[in-house]
Structure 1
Amino acid sequence: MTLPLAPLHEAVAAALPEREAIVFRDRRLTYAEVAERSRRLANFLLSQDITIHRPRSELENWESGQDHVALYMFNCNEYVEALLGGYKARAVPFNVNYRYVREELEYLLNDADAKAIVYHGCFAPVVREVLADVPTCRLLIQVDDGSGQPLLEGAFDYEAVLAESSPGPTGQTCEPDDLFILYTGGTTGMPRGVLWRQADAYLSQMGGRYDGVNVVGSLDEAVRRAVNKKRYTIFPPPPFMHGAGKYLALRTLFEGNTLLIQNVTDRFDPADVLSLAEKERANLMLAIGDAFGRPLLDELRRKPYDTSSLKFVTNTGAIMSKGVKAGLMEMIPGLTIIDSLGSSETGIQAQNVSGAKAGVERGDFRTMADTRVMAEDRRRFLEPGEPAAGWLAIGGRVPYGYYGDEAKTKETFPEIAGVRYVIGGDKVRLLENGEIEYFGRDSVTINSGGEKIFAEEVEEALKHHPAVADVLVAGRPSERWGQEVVALVQLANGASPDPAALNAEAAKHIARYKLPKAFRFVDRVGRSANGKPDYRWAKQQAEGAA
């Protein structure tokens, strides 16, 4: 099955025209309205020659023949419309981190060869500042966000563009190998644009493989599933500028569900999220580790909310500690928490389910189809029960590569026995029963005295202490050990710093050689807007720790 995204959305919208598609503040948009608004935007992009220029067959895996459109916005209905409109014009929307300062934004826009930017008005000043240094950009579309920022010179107003453009079909024949681009977060290096084939991105992340095994076989089947299954209200509070939120927002619409967008979008506000989940009877919520889970738990303990409709929390991008999971399941009876392993490059590779029956103690993950564990040398696959740790890899439907980076494409997407695989960087052990034991991301591994220490396992051990509200772990140079472990700890309210007590608790869960040699207590742990750890920040802090 090879489905491009634009005709998929159009077909579902045609079958469910009056169903609510997006709820955002005072806006309640139907499927027909979202489809029309995205077509109007697509037709405007086409009028500006923002589209495809070279077929995929002429390109290398790290190249693109389509124009790239930067989306520089907080979560909103316009973000989703711009994604869909871009695909319908056969251009490629890509995510921009709204936390970036001028230098980072300039790097990203130039790395992506951005031809157009769709941005919230509040970002107009930084767009104006950076534009002269982004020579490829020739189209600006400004979304009125109530900030009062005037329209930039030469820019188009988003609503005016829609009002003046045709609502009819675009006339484009979208192909399954049209691109889907997701820029990585850059938490351990510079951001890179991951080039997915749209049909493979749909299969991997947006409902094409709907139960981990079965695959949607045709456009008709996709529409039947959307029409015939129960409608759910899906609530992804994490920013759409990161993969997890973006994927779930699109999947919601491809499956005929209703997408709920929070009122407070420039930060995570647990009271706003829980109030809206109660009001709109949300059924599934997305979280990114403890950065989302712990504030939700604290707010639930502070004030009662009717969360009886909320049946699932799906967690990805960062580990959610066992204590936070147990607390959420206590406060929301009947809740199931689904942890997913994966990355921008791999899609979902493995899952762990916690609920009333499974509990939270089992930390092993069930692998998805096509997931394998590759040996350290990347030349063979490990067999179940082998004691060595290996790379979590996935084959078959994987991205083409990284935009503009031939060397990194060939390194990250090796070929074994004629099949291309992708290694996302996670280290695991393949257990006898075929499940995997997760250690952590290799890029943040600390090599101390010849022993590899995974930052995530030390963080999890420290989180067992009630004084720890949040923590990241990084390495710093050591004359004796090469590197040594440093913990950056955000204390719970009212807690006092006590490194000995923290290490005593951690020693109950990990070997003593993995314990931090130093602690630094910080007001707030460095994380991106979607809750993922900022290990570049952690490394800088660790090297300055006493």
Structure 2
Amino acid sequence: MNLARLLLRSAQTAGARPAVLLGITQLHDYAGLAQRAAALAGALRDRLGLQPGERVGLFTHNHPAVLEILFGCWWAGLAVVPVNPKLHPREAHYILAHSGASAAFIGGDIGGGLGDAALPLPELRALIDIDSAGYAALLQAGRIDAPLERAPGDLAWLFYTSGTTGHPKGVMLTHRNLLTMTLCYFSDVDTVRPQDSALYAAPMSHGAGLYCLPHVLAAARHVVPESRGFDPAEILALGRRLRGISMFAAPTMVRRLVEHAAAAGEHGAGLKTIVYGGGPMYLEDIRRALQVLGPRFVQIYGQGESPMTITALARAHFSDTAHPQHLERLASVGVAQSAVEVRIVDGDGHALPPQSTGEVIVRGDSVMAGYWRDAAATAQALREGWLHTGDVGSLDGDGFLTLRDRSKDVIISGGSNIYPREVEEVLLRHPAVAEVSVIGRRDAEWGEVVVAFIVARPGAVLESTALDALCQQHIARFKRPKEYHFVDALPKNHYGKVLKTELRARLAATAPPA
């Protein structure tokens, strides 16, 4: 089982169909895309000496070459290590070092810091700029005619998700995991026609990139915006020109698209499906989206550990306005996808009845193989065949899951996960900081923003500008606190644990009226 066979199949059966577009300009048809992937696979094996099972990093903004790199790596039997392009080079360095990546592809405008002599990557044999002549030369190599054989349980995608206990963990996703996700797309999310287009406005290093798989299987088009990112006016224009556009978007992107469309008097002509997830979508926001753009939406709930495949709220659920629980369903994240089981359990792992609140657990062929080089974390997350998500929710009598809270203190800002501890550890590097606690505050534009409560050392004078500068040296910009609150002490319980619930209450008490 090799995911690259999906591309080979489409190239053989529909080779002349448009495959990759930059804006409205076609770059490759399916036959050409497969030839480029096969050539890249040959170069990775014959020129760089990579062997099946080795890892290849990918650290770039959205780029048309991402598709041929993904399939070229799989074609050669390699695993891809996608790196969030918003990360700081030091954070990207950790991921490449921990994964033992043998090669890495970088975008021309990011990734340069990976060559820093102070940050050695001893296992990295090649660092390749995808806009360089060196990359173009790789595509002139001799091809590997057919994708190498891989077992269903072989590693395909090593996705690093930030952890609550420090360094990010590498989620091992296999060829079986991602094929299961692909088939769930067709059964639970959306149909795909050859004339449809997958639009990559969200980072291709995450779920938006994984959704290339069902669109390759259907021999549909793949469109990278000329902006290489999210621009509401550009998206609406592409919808009018290309028609049949589907895209993944974080809730903050949906809100921005809706407000732009409303201001421009547009209704999303040509946008077929907007799949949203990756953060809380508030009921009033999705109702506004439906009012402006109509029933073009599907919601998914997943984690890196079960990518895009825990639950789905289908288009039919959005349209069923006569149902007596319609608003409750809009506030939910839908029902279990076809290839998984979902349960709510108590602290001892016992299943709870409908309407009870507990931890969400899931099992099925989409669930990860484990965490890379971290047996302890794997044992904690995977128990008796079930993935313990750390999310808290409840199932109603019809199987609709509503998330109530997150037992992990993750902050989701603009669709990106931010874990407080990694921000706290950076702030504690400042010699004048005695204690720090980081929480999220609800924000109309970003979903949540980072807020830091700081206790200074006796006699020290602290300014937010100095803390900002420290964060800029060590973590990505989107993880930096938007607010600093300097306090005399942090609220704690009898065991010395900081009471973040009390900090959230303080923020709520000082928030301006809505």
Q: TM-score, normalised by structure 2?
A: 0.76
Is the alpha carbon distance of 1:403 and 1:295 closer, same or farther for their aligned partners in structure 2, counting shifts above 3 Å? same
Structure 1, residues 215-265: CA drift from partner, whole Å, max 9, x if none?
xxxxxxxxxx98xx55322223101112x1111122211222111211112
Separation in 1, partners of 2:103, 2:158: 16
Separation in 2, partners of 1:475, 1:438: 25
Q: Secondary structure at the match of 1:294?
A: helix
How far the C-alpha of 1:317 sits from its partner, in A, is 0.7
Contact 1:342 1:424 in 2 (8 A): no
1:91 and 2:104 aligned: no
Separation in 2, partners of 1:474, 1:394: 35
Unaligned stretches of 5+ residues in structure 2:
412-438, 454-489
What is aligned with 1:125? 112
How far the C-alpha of 1:157 sits from its partner, in A, is 1.3
1:101 and 2:88 aligned: yes
Amino acid at match of 1:375: V
What is aligned with 1:56? none
Unaligned stretches of 5+ residues in structure 1:
53-65, 145-150, 215-224, 447-454, 488-512, 522-546
Separation in 1, partners of 2:357, 2:115: 52
How does 1:189-200 map onto structure 2 within 5 Å?
189-200=166-177
How does 1:462-501 map onto structure 2 within 5 Å?
470-472=447-449, 477-479=490-492, 482-486=499-503
Separation in 1, partners of 2:145, 2:196: 29
Contact 1:23 1:259 in 2 (8 A): yes
Q: Secondary structure at the match of 2:248?
A: strand
**Which of 120, 139, 142 is matched with 1:166 structurally?**
142
How far the C-alpha of 1:213 sits from its partner, in A, is 11
What is aligned with 1:404? 373
1:516 and 2:508 aligned: yes
Contact 2:2 2:148 in 1 (8 A): no
How far the C-alpha of 1:24 sits from its partner, in A, is 1.3
What is aligned with 1:309? 270
* Equivalences, count: 433
Contact 1:473 1:485 in 2 (8 A): no
1:381 and 2:351 aligned: yes
Contact 2:160 2:169 in 1 (8 A): yes
What is aligned with 1:278? 240
Amino acid at match of 2:404: F
How does 1:203-352 map onto structure 2 within 5 Å?
203=180, 205-207=181-183, 210-212=186-188, 231-242=195-206, 244-265=207-228, 267-289=229-251, 291-305=252-266, 307-333=268-294, 335-347=295-307, 348-352=309-313
Contact 1:430 1:436 in 2 (8 A): yes
Is the alpha carbon distance of 1:194 and 1:443 closer, same or farther for their aligned partners in structure 2, counting shifts above 3 Å? same
Identical counterparts, % of pairs: 20
**Which of 414, 425, 447 is matched with 2:390 structurally?**
425
**Which of 69, 73, 85 is matched with 2:60 structurally?**
73
Q: CA RMSD, aligned part only? A: 3.1
Contact 2:258 2:293 in 1 (8 A): no
Separation in 2, partners of 1:356, 1:398: 30
Is the alpha carbon distance of 1:469 and 1:161 closer, same or farther for their aligned partners in structure 2, counting shifts above 3 Å? closer
Separation in 2, partners of 1:297, 1:360: 19
How far the C-alpha of 1:209 sits from its partner, in A, is 6.2
How far the C-alpha of 1:172 sits from its partner, in A, is 2.6
Amino acid at match of 2:500: Q
What is aligned with 1:17? 15
Amino acid at match of 2:216: L
Separation in 2, partners of 1:36, 1:107: 33
Amino acid at match of 2:186: Y
Q: TM-score, normalised by structure 1?
A: 0.72
